[in-house]
Structure formats: C-alpha cells, structure tokens
Amino acid sequence: MWILWYVFALLLTILSGYLLLRLVLSWTQKSFYTIEYGVYSFLVWVVLIPFVLFLFWWMGGNLSLLWMLILVLGLVTILFIINIVLKTKISFIPLDIKHQFVAFPLWLQLWSLICLIWLLAKLFFGFMNIAHVPTYQDDTFVNRNYRAKVFYERESLVLDSKDKDYLGQGYKQYPLTPSLYKTYLIKFTWTWNEWLVNLPSFIFYICALLLVFFSLLRYTKSLRRAALWLFMLSTIPLYYIHWTNPYFDVFQSVYFFAALSIMYLFMHHKLPFALLILFVGMLGYTKSEWLLIFTLAVFVSYIFRYLIQGKWNISKEVIRRFFIVVWWSLLINLPFIVFKMSHGLWFWNWDANIAQTALSLHTEIFPALYLVFFKWGCYNLLFSSFSLALLYVLFKKCLNKDTLWFLLWSWIAFAAIIFIYLTTFTYQYVIDQTGINRSMMQILPLLVFVLVLLIRDGYESTI
C-alpha cells in the first residue's frame, strides 16, 4: 500500500508542475515533445514543493503530512481552476519514433534493440543497488538522507544551534531542496523507508537521459543519432555510478542542462520570458553556485550575441531584459538568501575564514586534470572525442548556430569550475580526485550534448 502512496506523491508532483507550465506556455508555438514536457513539469515542482514547505514552516507551520496534503492539493486545485478559467491550451511537437525505426536497416534495428536491452538491464541493476545497498557515503547520508529523516521525524527544520540535529547536521549551507523533497515523498508512505528515500536519484537519472534524448532529437532531427548518444551517455562509468550511490550531482546536472535548454529556446524560438526566469531562479535552490555561473552565462550570451551580429552598440532594451532576468532570479532566491544570512550561514559549503577565502594560484592541478580527463576510465573517451571533434569543426569552419551557443555555455561552466579549483583551497579536491569528478558530473549531459552537435556539424560538412 505504501508504494501506491509514494507513486501518488510523484504523480502529484508531475500534475502540479504540468498545470503551472501550462499557464506559462499556453498559446505559444510547439516547443516540447509530450514526454519532454512531462520531465520539465516534474522538475519544476520538485523545486517548488520544497519551496512552499520551506516558506510555510518559516511562517510558523509544521511539516506534517496533513499540512503537506492541504498545501499541495490546495495549490493543485488553484492551478487547475485558473487553467479552466483562462481556457489554456498547449500543443506538442509530434513524435514519430516508430516510423523512423521501421525505416532503419534490419541490422541497425537489431543493434538498436540490443542496446535498448543493455540500457534497461543497467537501469535494473542500478535500481536493485539502490534498493538493497545501505546508504553510507558522507554527502548522501549526512547532507541528504539523514537531514530528510530529521525533517521527517521532527516535522521541523530544527534551527536550534545547540540541538544535535541542527538543520539535519552536515553542511548547513546546502540548499534544502533535495532533503525536503525526500521528506515530502516519504511522508506519503507513513513510515521511513531506506530505499525509497534514495529512489529520486534513479528518477533524476531517467530525467537526464530523456532530456538529452529529446534535445538531440530536436536539433539533429535524427532518431538514430539521438538514440545512439543517449546510449553513450548511459555508458559513462562515473555518471552511472553517481546515481547509484546515490549522490545528488546528477540531480544538479539535470537542472543546469534544463535551464540552458530553456535559455536557447527562449533566445531563438520565442518562449515566454517567465519560463526562462522560472528555470534560472530554480538553480539557486539546487546548487548555490549555479545561479552565479548561469548569470555569467546569460550576461556573456547577451554580449556575444550582439558582437557576432556586428552590433557594437547594445540597445537599452537588451540591457533591461538582462537585468530583469537577474532581478527576478535573485528575487526568487531571496527567501533562502535571507534565511541563510539570518542564521549566519556562509554562501559556500564551508565556514568562512581568511585562509579558505584567500585566492592563490595552484597550477599543480593541471597534471591531475590531464590524468582524470584523458588517462583514466572515468569518462571513457568523452574528453578525447570532444577535443578532436572541436578541432575538426573549427578547422573546417562548419560550426552551426545552435552548437556555437551550447559550446559557449559549456566553456563558461567548465572555466568557472576550473577557476575555483585553480585559485582556492579546493585545489586539493582535484589532487585527490574527489571534488573535480563531482563537478564534472554536474555538466556531463551538457558536454555529451555539445559533442553530438559537433559530430553532426563535422559530418554534415563532409557530405
């Protein structure tokens, strides 16, 4: 019976996100596939449900199941009524996978089925790992699961600094979203369950695969390419291991890739401005640094867009729209920012002191970066293939517009990550091969996606 309640909580997440996005996207042109829209709906409310619970508790409420039901069902009802009153309507991109698959040669159909069976087998064994292996990793246990259990049992965020469970222990600066969402799901089962609390990692891995698949389908117009590189993403060892741990780096990678996808569609396909603001604003509730990195990406994009068009005088409207994005993103994150400041919590993952915040150059990370990216088997041949494909496309001068934008954003994210390791005490996490691998997990779907676009551009230039 408890598993049915868990599924009900998940479906409620998707339904509420679906209704909210329907309001934002009503009467716009077809921009999403149906399943892809379902993924975005899930992602929206995974952040917004903890946000609502966080605000409700902050105003004096508690995290009991009764209040969760009242809040969530109330919001779903309100969204449903608004959709009915406004008579919202949304259209999806038609998906004809069956027709393309039938057109494949017989040998390719067989190979596709073998790869699908292999992928499903890996998902099954990863799922069994989550279901049967106890959670023991530091970050997963202390900063995610134990914190969720404290919220679940105490029905409170526990803000007494003298309490042994103060903010669920662990790094108290982390966004509360993952733990609060786990608390929300487990509350519906009426009892704490060690493997169900890890199940969101499996779901977010599926979300990552689906988003990359449908994004590739949109930009390559080829089921063959989209399916092949979906399979290749699933074969990257470290990315697979990270969702079976289950750390939450895959969770963060999904939101960063989703926000960039929305950014591109907004820039070139006239998606509503509110949708971009929504996904940019949510980044601060998944990973504090992502909001800064994405703001940098937005700023560079606006500047770069005008430079490549030869417009050296950027209009006031462009500057105004940029600051609107930044303003609303900060406004959405204001409750959590005020919460952390009012409780003396530092922005990053450590306590502030002069030694840790001082900048200094640590060039010793470069040999370690070469080892992890090109010599070890953590990423298969991803970085080697990426480098070769990029050099070939630049040499042939066949870089397409969509590739250019996603390549730019991947460079910004990668450079921001390396800059932090190069100039702060965190360089030690490159030397010992811990932090750098986790950081790469957070941009891996983006890197795989850009690699496919590079290969597409190079291939099209030769035919």
SS3 23: helix
Q: Which pTM does this prediction carry? A: 0.90
CA distance 325 to 44: 17
**pLDDT exceeds cutoff 90 at 81:** yes
pLDDT at 140: 75
**124 Cβ contact list (under 8 Å, min separation 6):** none
Annotated domain spans of the chain: 278-352, 355-463
CB < 8 Å & 24+ apart, contacts of 148-151: 148/178, 148/179, 148/180, 148/182, 148/183, 148/186, 148/197, 149/192, 149/197, 151/63, 151/179, 151/180, 151/183
pLDDT mean across residues, the chain? 82
pLDDT tens sequence across 263-282: 888 877 778 888 888 888 88
CA pseudo-torsion sign 251, 120, 261, 279: negative
In this prediction, residue 41 has a pLDDT band, given cuts at 50, 70 and 90, of: very high
Q: Would you state the structure tokens that stand for residue 34, as one six-digit string?
A: 């149906």
| pLDDT over 90 percentage in the chain | 12
* Backbone angle region of 76, left / alpha / beta, with phi > 0 → left and psi within -120 to 50 → alpha: alpha
- Summarize pLDDT for 132-178 with one digit per residue, the tens: 777 766 677 777 888 888 888 888 888 777 778 777 677 777 888 88
pLDDT of residue 311: 53
Between 312 and 285, whose confidence is greater?
285
Q: What's the pLDDT tens digit per position in 370-427?
A: 988 988 888 888 899 999 999 999 888 888 888 888 888 888 888 888 888 888 888 8
Q: In angstroms, how far is the first alpha carbon of the chain from the final one?
A: 57
Write the DSSP assignment of 301-342 as a string of letters. Answer: HHHHHHHHTT--S--HHHHHHHHHHHHHHHHHHHHHHHHHHH
- Would the pLDDT of 120 be above 60? yes
Query: Considering just the CA atoms, what is the radius of gyration of the chain in Å?
Result: 22
Q: Scan for tokens 């306590």, then name that residue.
A: 351
pLDDT at position 391 is 92
